Amino acid sequence: MTIFLQSLDYHLWHIVVNGPRMPTRTIEGVVSLKPENEFNDNDFKMLQLNSEAKHVLFCAVGPNEFNRISSCDMAKEMWDLLEVTYEGTNQVKESKISMLVHEYELFLIHDNECISDMFTRFTTIVNSLKNLGKSYSNQELVRKILSRLGHVSTSCIYRNNLCFGKTRRIWVPKGTFVTNLQGPKFKWVPKT
């Protein structure tokens, strides 16, 4: 939603996040709202942007959310209500971040899990953390993934080649458990 609003008009996004600057006047040191007959072009433009932002939000949400935000006068009120509904309060956010960081720190490859599935799971955790405001550098992410793949160095084992009746050397990563020396099957055993 953020990117969609920003792509339409960045001023629109600014109105949604910060609220419109309401037209005011100062009389004898007292600040009050301007009556509508005193609005200038900038005042109307600001109010029009607020209405456009409300329209976009109304069109973007489903019927349940529409009922929840339809009584709001300002786009910022609508956005804040949606934000609390979907992201929770700051306490809920911190709790989600804490759970995801715990999941990130204890991340391991599961038994019989291929690397692409492991990477998808890892990316989901990292993206969820980033959406909640917690991010890691690329260097940290690469180090975390590589540390979960086992040893990178290799060792040599001997295997009989059934086709030619000869024994030949093959190189496999350390941490690989050979389940069948007669055939090409290997089982990956991650580093513990």
Closest by Cα among 101, 70, 64, 111 to 85: 64
Between the alpha carbon of residue 40 and those of residues 10, 25, 47, 169, the distances in Å are: 22, 12, 11, 84
pLDDT at 83: 85
pTM: 0.52
Closest by Cα among 139, 141, 179 to 159: 179
Between the alpha carbon of residue 125 and those of residues 16, 23, 80, 142, the distances in Å are: 28, 44, 25, 14
pLDDT at 173: 54
Could you give the CA distance from residue 145 to residue 156 in angstroms, rounded to a whole number? 25
Q: Report the alpha-carbon angle 68-9-34, nearest 5.
A: 70
Q: Cite the DSSP H helix spans in 70-114.
A: 75-87, 90-105
Q: Which residues of the chain have pLDDT under 50?
A: 151-163, 178-181, 183-187
pLDDT at 151: 41
Q: Which residues contact 53 (CB under 8 A, 6 or more apart)?
A: 5, 12, 15, 16, 75
Q: Which residues contact 115 (CB under 8 A, 6 or more apart)?
A: 109, 149
pLDDT at 191: 57
